[in-house]
Each structure stands twice: as structure tokens, then as C-alpha cells.
């Protein structure tokens, strides 16, 4: 009995600390554990369901941690336009820290002068247009190497390959070339396979994978985008194989505009609007991270009439925002044509119904690189190969379940057979 009295008093005292303003609404919580039992196996889905009942801005208590969950574009707009500075802190879990803490990482550093220095370095040296243009040939080499290895592994179109595995090596070697001007992994090497296996397990068990935990010298840059790139590419291929109409349409665009006599190049991207729409639709339905990296209130503030306490955690449910039926027609349908309409939205942080890379000061600095790599890699594979499902599997029979973890990987890795394209696509079929 005394234990329950103590738990109630402790929880009541904690809530009293925030009584200077009304918190956003939320479900009733238990003493000590709060709403932890309502998180579920897929927190983004659980929180989206709770938001239907409690509203697009709600409070959850994860243990003693006050967590504010944002699940709509209009609340996200208010956050990033009116409270971007005060909510620019980071709530970092122990699993996301390396041996020397989190202050070396651009993603996990608190908003201070050190973070501003890292951000300036990335935006003026690594991800500026001139630097990206200079690395164009390197990206092409990494992608063509991936395609060659895929074709070899498929034994001339007879064997299914683990698509995500090859995407991972390509993305990781892109980062290696950006920093060290060399490949860091080789899919033909045993250690490459081991690294891929362990990176996937880290993502599943510890949350967001951070290569800096393995290679401390990379900590300041935080090249964890390898897994987010991999998941986006894998989902794009899965959705295309699941939707043959879209696959045929994007291949028609690629092969009619590029032709059969050369490989796709980066300069082709601007002339391939449907390919770009496929990438956008993939990012809408399957954002690399279902939640943006957790923000933290560096001071208390008032948002839409509610008090956001100092040091509370802010979770932006990008997965829910991208599937909001109030914003998107047929939100669960993979339909790239929605991004072909005039005045379409983009992912550069200005349209809050579509923020897979975030917005404001803490927006992903590697977005300019991703906007080049994703369409080039996907387009190259679709231009040069036809793709088949293994073992007579039909598109409608594909398992499109999301896996557990912070990044939205497929529950079952995508396996498909690449067959080298040898002739013109029959546009009249």
C-alpha cells in the first residue's frame, strides 16, 4: 500500500511541476510507467491512432518524460515557423550516443555554437552544389558498381538478389568517397556482409544506426544516412514491383528519353518528372524515419494555446502526416501522379504536409545529396534492367509489411531478379 501511495505522490509531484500551463491533451497515464504500454510494436502507428482520439498535438508520458507528439501539417507548420529556435534542442537516448557522448555529431548535438559550426561546414563544404557537382563521377561509379555486382549475383537473370544489401553497400561507399575518396566496403568481402548484418541489427535493437559508433573518426559527420537511403530505395523498388502499371510507366519514360545506347546520368534527372514523382511518393508513404529525430524544448513555450514544458521531448510523426486523409487524396494508394500536378509540393521543408527530411534549423543537411542519389540509383536500375519476382510470386501477393525499428525497413527483405534490358520497350503493349 505504501508503495502505491509513493508512486501516486511521485507522479503527482512530477505533473505539478508543469502546472504553470495547460499541456496538450492525451491519454490517461499510469503511475511511474506513464503511457509506455500504449507505445506498441510500431510507435508511429500507435501514436497516429491515439492522435485520432486526442488531436494532432498531444501529450504522452514515457515514464517520467513529457513527450509532445505532432501528427498534422498545420501543427508542424506552427512548430517550425514560430518555435523553431526554442524547439531546436535534441533529446538523445543512450543508445544513440557513442563512447564520447553525442556532441560530436551534427544530428545529435545540442543547438549551440558547436552545432552551428558543424552545420556551416556541411552546408558550405560537403553538401554545397559545387562540391556535389565535383563528385558526380564518383556517384556514377558507385552506382554502376552496384549494378554490375547485382547482375553477377543474379547469374544472368536466374537468381533473386537481396536488393537492400546492394543498396546499403552503394550508399555506404558514397559516404566513404565523400570523406576518404575510397570505398569502405565491398559486397564480395566477408566483412562487408558482416557489417551489413550488424548494421541492420543495430537499427532493429538500438534504434537509429550510427556508423560513428563503429568508426569514431566519422562521429562529427554522422553518416547514418546509409540506412535511410537503403530503406527508401528498397521501398521504391517494392512499390514498383507491387504496382506493375507504375513500373512500366516509369521505365517507358526512362527508356524513351535516355535511349538504349548509354547509361543514365545525373543531368537526365530534371527531364524525368515521373521518376521524380515516384521518389516523392515513396518518401510520402515510407519516410526514412517515421518520426523526425527527437527535438527538445530548450525552454518552455506556448504552442497553439498549449504549454510545452522545458526539456520535454517533441516527436513529429512524419509517417502520420504523409498519410493524413485531410491533406492527401487516397493516402494509402501508391500514386505518383499526385506529384505531377501543377503547384505540387516538394520535400525541401517548405510544405509541411511533406517533410521526410524535416524542416527548419534541424533539417537534414544531406537532403541535396539525397535528391541526386535516389533518382539516379533507382533510375539506373530501372533503365538497365527488367525486374521479376522470384518463385512465381504475383505482385498482389507481396508482403508489404513494415519492420520494427526506428528506420522504416521492410519486414521481409525485398528479393527480386534483375534481367539485363536488351531491346526497346514496346510502348504499344
DSSP 335-381: -GGGGSSTT---SSSS-TT--TT--GGGS-TTHHHHHHHHHHHHHHH
**CA dist., res. 29 & res. 145, Å (int):** 52
Kind of pairing between the strands at 161-162 and 301-303: unpaired
**CA dist., res. 193 & res. 166, Å (int):** 10
Looking at the chain, how many residues does it have? 429
DSSP 286-309: S-SSSBPSPEE-SS-EEETTEEE-
**124, exposed or middle or buried, with CB in 10 Å at 0-12, 13-18, 19+?**
exposed
Cite the annotated binding site by residue number. 364
Cite the annotated binding site for heme by residue number. 364
Residue ranges of E strands in 34-111? 57-62, 65-70, 89-90
Instruction: Report residue 187 CA to chain centroid gap.
Output: 23
* CA dist 278 → 203, 290, 338 (Å): 26, 19, 10
Instruction: Report residue 409 CA to chain centroid gap.
Output: 9
Amino acid at each position: 500500500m505504501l508503495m502505491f501511495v509513493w508512486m501516486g505522490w511521485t507522479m503527482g509531484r512530477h505533473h505539478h511541476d508543469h502546472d504553470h500551463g495547460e499541456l496538450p491533451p492525451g491519454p490517461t497515464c499510469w503511475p511511474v510507467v506513464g503511457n509506455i504500454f500504449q507505445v506498441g510494436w510500431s510507435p508511429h502507428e500507435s501514436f497516429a491512432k491515439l492522435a485520432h482520439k486526442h488531436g494532432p498535438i498531444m501529450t504522452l508520458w514515457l515514464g517520467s518524460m513529457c513527450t509532445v507528439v505532432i501528427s498534422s501539417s498545420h501543427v508542424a507548420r506552427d512548430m517550425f515557423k514560430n518555435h523553431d529556435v526554442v524547439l531546436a534542442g535534441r533529446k538523445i537516448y543512450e543508445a544513440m550516443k557513442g563512447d564520447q557522448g553525442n556532441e560530436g555529431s551534427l544530428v545529435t548535438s545540442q543547438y549551440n555554437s558547436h552545432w552551428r559550426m558543424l552545420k556551416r561546414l556541411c552546408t558550405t563544404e560537403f553538401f554545397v552544389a559545387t562540391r556535389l557537382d565535383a563528385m558526380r563521377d564518383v556517384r556514377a561509379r558507385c552506382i554502376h558498381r552496384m549494378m554490375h555486382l547485382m547482375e553477377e549475383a543474379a547469374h544472368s537473370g536466374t537468381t533473386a538478389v537481396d536488393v537492400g544489401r546492394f543498396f546499403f553497400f552503394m550508399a555506404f561507399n558514397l559516404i566513404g568517397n565523400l570523406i576518404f575518396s575510397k570505398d569502405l566496403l565491398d559486397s564480395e568481402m566477408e566483412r562487408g556482409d558482416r557489417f551489413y548484418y550488424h548494421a541492420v541489427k543495430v537499427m532493429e535493437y538500438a534504434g537509429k544506426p550510427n556508423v560513428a559508433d563503429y568508426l569514431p573518426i566519422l562521429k562529427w559527420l554522422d553518416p547514418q544516412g546509409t540506412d535511410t537511403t537503403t530503406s527508401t530505395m528498397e521501398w521504391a523498388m517494392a512499390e514498383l514491383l507491387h504496382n506493375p502499371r507504375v513500373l512500366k510507366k516509369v521505365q517507358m519514360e526512362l527508356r524513351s528519353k535516355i535511349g538504349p545506347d548509354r547509361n543514365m546520368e545525373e543531368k537526365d534527372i530534371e527531364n524525368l518528372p515521373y521518376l521524380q514523382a515516384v521518389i516523392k511518393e515513396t518518401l510520402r508513404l515510407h519516410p526514412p524515419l517515421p518520426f523526425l529525430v527527437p527535438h527538445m524544448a530548450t525552454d518552455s513555450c506556448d504552442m497553439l494555446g498549449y504549454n510545452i514544458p522545458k526539456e520535454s521531448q517533441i516527436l513529429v510523426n512524419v509517417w502520420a502526416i504523409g498519410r493524413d486523409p485531410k491533406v492527401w487524396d487516397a493516402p494509402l494508394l501508391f500514386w505518383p501522379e499526385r506529384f505531377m500536378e501543377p503547384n505540387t509540393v516538394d520535400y525541401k521543408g517548405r510544405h509541411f504536409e511533406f517533410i521526410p527530411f524535416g524542416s527548419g534549423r534541424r533539417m537534414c543537411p544531406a537532403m541535396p545529396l539525397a535528391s541526386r542519389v535516389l533518382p539516379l540509383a533507382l533510375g539506373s536500375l530501372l533503365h538497365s534492367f527488367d525486374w521479376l519476382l522470384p518463385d512465381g510470386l504475383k505482385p498482389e501477393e507481396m508482403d508489404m509489411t513494415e519492420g520494427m525499428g526506428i528506420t522504416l525497413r521492410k519486414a521481409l527483405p525485398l528479393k527480386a531478379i534483375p534481367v539485363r534490358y536488351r531491346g526497346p520497350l514496346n510502348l504499344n503493349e
